[in-house]
Amino acid sequence: MIIAFASLKGGAGKSTLSIHLAHAIALAKKRVLLVDADPQSSASSWAAARDSVAPFPVIGLARNTIHRDLPELLEAYDHCVIDTPPRVSAMARSAILAADLVLIPVQPSSYDVWAASETVELIKEAQQFKPAIKAAFVVNRRIGNSAIGKEIDSALADYALPVLKTAIAQRVVFSESSAGYTVMELSPSSAAATEIKNLAKAVLKLMGVSKW
């Protein structure tokens, strides 16, 4: 399965979610590759910051031909997660076209909801060439007691894409994990780690598979 995190708005949390979902898959004893298709190289920088070997390999692939290059690279892996660039570009289009599932991180703000329209249009464009591509929203950095945090699902309803029931809350431990580790390593029993594991389960359910 190839999962791409895509948002044409910067700062949506694509890199953090890509890294953490890849680790959740790796913890299930599956061979997973994280592809850094973002020229900013956030995922690659995360891997380089570690003091130990990462629990999964990270490769940079900021090319316009990702959908053509990936099949050969994935022969040794069970699954792949792609971190995409935050703008309309040939690289973003190629990464989306390579995916079986596109997850769109959206923070609970009116601007993020409006900005999601560009990403949705890019996915629709890719589906004309590859109709089997699935897509869904992931609410990221939810603040539980805020009005927009409670109303985000209805705010996204106009896009006719599912919103995963598992939301990722705004937590300090995610910021701490940017230094080369994940919340499953820093705080494996935390609510943050549980949210990531639940996100992985939600992805499995959406794709109609029982396990990785």
Between the alpha carbon of residue 133 and those of residues 5, 100, 115, 136, 163, the distances in Å are 13, 5, 21, 10, 16
Predicted confidence at residue 146, as pLDDT, reads 62
Characterize the bridge pairing of strands 58-60 and 101-106: unpaired
- Whether residue 212 is contained in a domain is answered as no
Higher pLDDT, 55 or 178: 55
CA of residue 141 relative to chain centroid, distance: 13
What are 143-152's pLDDT values in tens digits? 866 666 667 8
Predicted confidence at residue 150, as pLDDT, reads 65
The CATH number of residue 144's host domain is 3.40.50.300
Predicted confidence at residue 199, as pLDDT, reads 97
Cβ-contact 22, 30 below 8 angstroms:
no
Query: Which tokens go with 107?
Result: 């923070």
What are 64-73's pLDDT values in tens digits? 999 999 999 9
pTM: 0.94
What are 115-127's pLDDT values in tens digits? 899 999 999 999 9
| Number of residues in the chain | 212
Predicted confidence at residue 205, as pLDDT, reads 93
Q: Structurally, how many domains does the chain consist of?
A: 1
Q: In whole numbers, what is the pLDDT of the chain averaged over residues?
A: 92
- Whether residue 211 is contained in a domain is answered as no
Range of the domain at 175: 2-206
- Whether residue 155 is contained in a domain is answered as yes
Higher pLDDT, 151 or 21: 21
Q: What is the DSSP string of 177-206?
A: GGGT--HHHH-TTSHHHHHHHHHHHHHHHH
